[in-house]
Chain A
Amino acid sequence: MHARSFKRRSEGMTRTLIICEKPDAARRLAEALADRLPPARKRHGLRYFELSAADGIIVVCPVLGHLYTVDARGSRSRREYPVWDFEWKPKYQVERGFERQEGLLRAIHELAQKADRFIDACDYDIEGSVIGYMTLKYACGGADIKAGRMRFSTLTKSDLKEAYINASAQLDHNLVQAGICRHEIDWLYGVNLSRALTESARKSSGEYLNISTGRVQGPTLKFVTEREVQISTHVPIPYWTITAQADIDERTVPLEYSKKRLEKKIEAEDVAANTRNRTGRVERIEERHVSIKPPPPFDLSELQSESYRHLHLGPSQTLRILERLYLQALISYPRTGSQKLPASIGYEAILKGLQKSAGYRDLVSELLSQPVLRPVEGGKADPAHPAVYPTGRLPRRLSTIESRVYDLVVRRFMAAFAPAAERAIQRATVTVSGRYVFYLRGSATVCPGWMRFYQPYGVVSETSIPHLREGQEILFKEVSAVQHFSAPPPRYNPGSLLRMMEHNGIGTKATRSGIIDLLYKRGYVAGEAMRPTLLATKVIEVLEKYCPKIVDVSFTRDLEVKMDRIEAGEATHDGVLSEAVKQLRPVMERLKSDEEMLGRDLRIAVRQLVMEKSMIKVPCPSCGLALRVVRSAKTRKRFIECSGSSTHQCRFTLPLPQLGRLEPLEKFCERCGFQLFATWRWGKRPLVSCPKCYVEGLRRTKSN
């Protein structure tokens, strides 16, 4: 091996192994570095590329996300807690469904043995840095100490070539250490707290239900349950508004009373009685022009919010689409916290690229005719990546929803270079009997500026007021006092919860949407307007009772700040980790000693959720009672049974698939109307079946 390396070096031929985060990224990088995309090679299931370059042979290989994960040292029971001793292990050894990664690791290890230069080309952020570091350290035999780092924000040929030429001589160790620390702390908190909840509930209720919580998940769920308490204890307070209409130039126009909200009924009725069918006098007409700056370029959170507002896409769904657009080199790296567009991205080249699209041609031409291209920028900055922007490459084939997200990104980018919009705001002040003051308001867009570029997303309403002069008298036709009641605050939706997490500084741009998904997956919330389940309320109650710090936003935020300090080189991995462990130890000691009481508090909620999950929405065809999914204590086989099996001696049963994860669907069989079930097995499409039709099919086969 050494002799071979020496021979290659002596011939001036180095062999460089580049680690990419995803297969698409590896393909794009290979295409950028070679004159022509070389055919993909295959080794133990890993598809990689090998190409010749001026400085030797380059091998570009992808990893599929994280290949290593944190786990308890040794092989201990997964029910034991607290756990303080951990190590990084190959993911396929720890989690189910990652068996394919064993072959990938073997392939990377073999490729690494032949290489004498290593480059980490994973996404330039915390997660990407950890993925690259762990692969280089463990699969490439300690190559992390000699590996370089490529840094790019788009997967375009020019950016990738430049990133390869300018690859730094070493990894960004601060970013790597910050990422490792985040993973380890999250694992310690998640595993210990979740095991404490799950085990105490299991011992008390006899039911196994995965009750998870974590450093960020707990406070996030608390936002939802706290909002529900506000809604449930809301007392509507009465108030009144005045609606008035007047006839001006044969046009009926609405007027607004100077006080938007009247707290007393008598006051509201007094205004209505003393202004109805009276004449008002126009005292003043004011008009002012306001300039509205374009909205800043998109950072990920703002993009997810805007996508939810206009396209009704959840944060995770938006992120998945953005990742697909990034991998097609259509947009820049989406996991960014920046609202800045540096000149180095090449404004003109991007706009010229977009100009080739018929939909954007006229708008881009307008922008390019400006003497200088200078975008509006927001306050947020991210040292790793600029704001999300289109690369200027035009999409070939996109799904409808991908096109809409792409359009949103393009229009926001164009709007950043457009001039400010100008709106004329008019207000006429009308008084009745010198006492009652009303306003007639209008607003019109004088110069649409950026709004035209951001259509249909930045539409504002236009209301004009009739031509008036000061001293003019107008007749008040309809005036009435309308009673209202204060409304409770709205429930969170995935978009508003994401904003709340960001506002409170918990989680990262990469993890927030996943945590929201987890709340649904664990059965903590239901519905688009997120309503907490009984289990969620109980979990938060229990955590507040036994370890209030864990659901305290400021505690989580402090930890985030400390982890950010590692990234900035102001704190060390070991220091922050030991402090986090110091905080968690007493919490776990208390949870362990109060395990019985904790379990008792969770018991009812767990039983209810398990019961809900097992109940079938179709009644027993034999006796009309409810049907449920049960598991035989003797054979451990699962099947459908009538809930009246013991009380009413109903013997109705139906078989169920025994392998895979079973999920009752909200769909019903078109033939017999029975509830459908999906069975999920790794690597296979979900099998959707009707248990009743299955049995009838079996009977028919037998009788034939």
Chain B
Amino acid sequence: MASKEQPSSCSVCGEMIEKNSLCRLHHLAKERLTQGYELWRVAYGSLSYTDYLHSLIALPETGEAVAAVARQILQKKE
């Protein structure tokens, strides 16, 4: 039986993996991204995750690592 191979480097930047296929920086960025979605939903009443990610990418205040993770999630969805 063929086992699914774990990636050896971060799927965003190619650095060494820390957790969930991501390096330390991008793992932290993804955590913050998830926490942020709850705050955005409360702020706007209702908001889809995709719209949230699109909005984040467009904002200049968004951190580079967060924007990179958001872009990758959107790419996977497409």
With A263-B43, A265-B43, A266-B45 as known contacts, state yes or no: A235 contacts B36, CB within 8 Å: yes
Residue B17 lies at the interface, judged by CB distance under 8 Å to chain A: no
A residues whose Cβ falls under 8 Å from a Cβ of B: 229, 231-239, 263-266, 485-488
Please tell me which one of the listed residues B39, B43, B45, B62 contacts residue A234 in the complex, with CB atoms under 8 A apart: B62
Please tell me which one of the listed residues B28, B35, B43 contacts residue A229 in the complex, with CB atoms under 8 A apart: B28
A239 B43 Cβ-Cβ under 8 A: yes
A487 B61 Cβ-Cβ under 8 A: yes
Residue B19 lies at the interface, judged by CB distance under 8 Å to chain A: no
A263 B42 Cβ-Cβ under 8 A: yes
* A273 CB → nearest B CB, Å: 16
With A264-B43, A488-B63 as known contacts, state yes or no: A235 contacts B28, CB within 8 Å: no
Per the bound structure, the CA–CA distance linking A6 and B33 in Å amounts to: 84
For residue A229, which residues in chain B have a CB less than 8 angstroms away from its CB? 25, 28
For residue B10, which residues in chain A have a CB less than 8 angstroms away from its CB? none
For residue B61, which residues in chain A have a CB less than 8 angstroms away from its CB? 234, 236, 485-488
Q: Can you sample 16 A-B contacts with CB below 8 Å?
A: A231-B63, A232-B63, A232-B65, A232-B66, A233-B63, A235-B36, A235-B62, A235-B63, A236-B62, A237-B40, A237-B43, A238-B43, A263-B43, A265-B43, A265-B44, A485-B59
Per the bound structure, the CA–CA distance linking A263 and B41 in Å amounts to: 11
* B54 CB → nearest A CB, Å: 14
Interface centre among A232, A235, A238, A486 (most CB of B within 10 A): A235
For residue B66, which residues in chain A have a CB less than 8 angstroms away from its CB? 232-235
Interface centre among A231, A237, A487, A488 (most CB of B within 10 A): A237
Chain A's interface: helix, strand, loop or mixed, by majority?
loop
B residues whose Cβ falls under 8 Å from a Cβ of A: 25, 28-29, 32-33, 35-36, 39-40, 42-45, 56, 59, 61-66
Per the bound structure, the CA–CA distance linking A488 and B56 in Å amounts to: 13
* A545 CB → nearest B CB, Å: 10
Per the bound structure, the CA–CA distance linking A265 and B41 in Å amounts to: 10
Q: Contacts A234-B62, A234-B63, A234-B66 known; list 12 others, CB within 8 Å.
A: A232-B25, A233-B28, A233-B29, A233-B32, A235-B35, A235-B56, A238-B40, A238-B43, A265-B43, A266-B45, A486-B61, A487-B61
B64 A232 Cβ-Cβ under 8 A: yes
For residue B33, which residues in chain A have a CB less than 8 angstroms away from its CB? 235
* A367 CB → nearest B CB, Å: 48
For residue A263, which residues in chain B have a CB less than 8 angstroms away from its CB? 42-43
Per the bound structure, the CA–CA distance linking A234 and B42 in Å amounts to: 18
A237 B63 Cβ-Cβ under 8 A: no
Q: Nearest residue in B to A483 (C-beta to C-beta)? A: B43
Per the bound structure, the CA–CA distance linking A488 and B59 in Å amounts to: 12
* A252 CB → nearest B CB, Å: 30
Per the bound structure, the CA–CA distance linking A82 and B35 in Å amounts to: 45
B59 A236 Cβ-Cβ under 8 A: yes
Per the bound structure, the CA–CA distance linking A485 and B62 in Å amounts to: 9
For residue A486, which residues in chain B have a CB less than 8 angstroms away from its CB? 61
For residue A485, which residues in chain B have a CB less than 8 angstroms away from its CB? 59, 61
Q: Nearest residue in A to B40 (C-beta to C-beta)? A: A238
Per the bound structure, the CA–CA distance linking A233 and B61 in Å amounts to: 10
For residue A265, which residues in chain B have a CB less than 8 angstroms away from its CB? 43-45
